[in-house]
Amino acid sequence: MKKNTSIFLSLILIFITSYFLYYKGEQALEKSAEKFTVLAFENTDLNCNSQSLTFFIENNLKKEGFCQVSIKNDNEIFENLKISVPPQSKKLIQPQVKTIEKVCNLSQKIKYQVSIKNETNQKTIYKLITP
């Protein structure tokens, strides 16, 4: 192999590898963003009634881009609670099933334990305590 050919090919290889690293980096950033669920609430002013909770969850879920939210009726307070959030174009995962539980403790402090559960991840990911 001629000297200049070898050097030229080496430079081409360095650049191709750099491109490939960049491509893999972008791909990894996009893929990883799809892998997990994110849910965030900013309003902590809640009352223990279905109306405010409906508004609260709907409002926040909308912001995070969730759709097709269904709620398991574990407690009579939420018997008629149905939330429908229009689909949005965000890239976040859209969980299939979500469960919302309410726990009122003895000292009358109200705790909402909101569990977001999807097919692959059975974890409680949100807790909000209200005085």
Partner 1 sequence: MLLDLIKIDLSLGLLLFIPGYSILIALTRAKNPLGTLGTIVVSMVLSLGITNFSLMLINRLDFKLTPLSIFSILIIITTIGLILYKIFQKEKLKKIPASENSNWLIFFLILSFSIFIRAIYLIPKIIPHATDLGHHMYWVNYIIKFQELPIYGIPDFIIGEHLIFGAASILSGVGIISALPTIILFIINIFSLLAIFLLTKELANLLFTSKTAHKIGFLSLLSIGVFYAIASPQATYINGGVIGNLMGNLLIPTIFYLFIKAVKEKSSTLASLGFFLAGILAYTHHLSTFIFIYVLVGFLIFFIFGFGLIKLILKNNNVEIRPFLKIFINLKTALTSFLILSFVFLIRIPSYLNLSAIDTAVGNPSKETRTGLTINNLVHSTGSWRIFYSTVGLIFLIFIFWQIFKKNSLAKKIYSIQISSPLKALTAISLASAWFLTIFTMSHWPALLKIDIISGRIANYLTYPSAILAGFGVYAILQPIFNKNQKIITLTVFMIIFIPGIISGLFDVSESYVEDSSKFDETIETFKGAEYLAVRTNPDQKILKDHIYLTGDTWIKNFLMRGYKEPLSRTLLKRYTDVVKKRETCTRDMIAIPETEIGKKCFEKTKIEFLILKDGFDTHQFETSDNFSRIFATDKVVIFQKK
| 72-84: b (≥16 Cβ within 10 Å) or e | eeeeeebeebebe
Question: Are the CB atoms for 42 and 60 separated by under 8 Å?
Answer: yes
The smaller minimum CB distance to partner 1, of residues 79 and 91, is found at 91
CA dist 41 → 56, 58, 103 (Å): 8, 11, 18
What residue has token string 């109306």? 51
Cβ 84 to partner 1, closest distance in Å? 23
Q: How far is CA 64 from the centre of its chain?
A: 7
103 is a contact residue toward partner 1 (CB under 8 A): no
Considering only 52, 80, 109, 122, the residue that binds partner 1 (CB under 8 A) is 109
Is residue 12 near partner 1 by the rule CB under 8 A? no
Given a contact cutoff of 8 angstroms between Cβ atoms, the answer to whether 130 and 110 are in contact is yes
Please check whether residue 91 is in contact with residue 30, taking contact to mean a CB–CB distance below 8 angstroms: yes
Among 28, 49, 55, 80, binds partner 1 (CB under 8 A): 28
- Smallest gap, in angstroms, from Cβ of residue 79 to partner 1? 26
82 near partner 1, rule: CB under 8 A: no
91 binds partner 1 (CB under 8 A): no
- Match 């559960």 to its residue by tokens: 117
Residues 39-78 that bind partner 1 (CB under 8 A): 39-42, 44
Chain contacts with partner 1 (rule: CB under 8 A):
1-7, 9-11, 13-15, 17-26, 28-29, 32-33, 35-42, 44, 109, 116, 121, 123, 125-129, 131
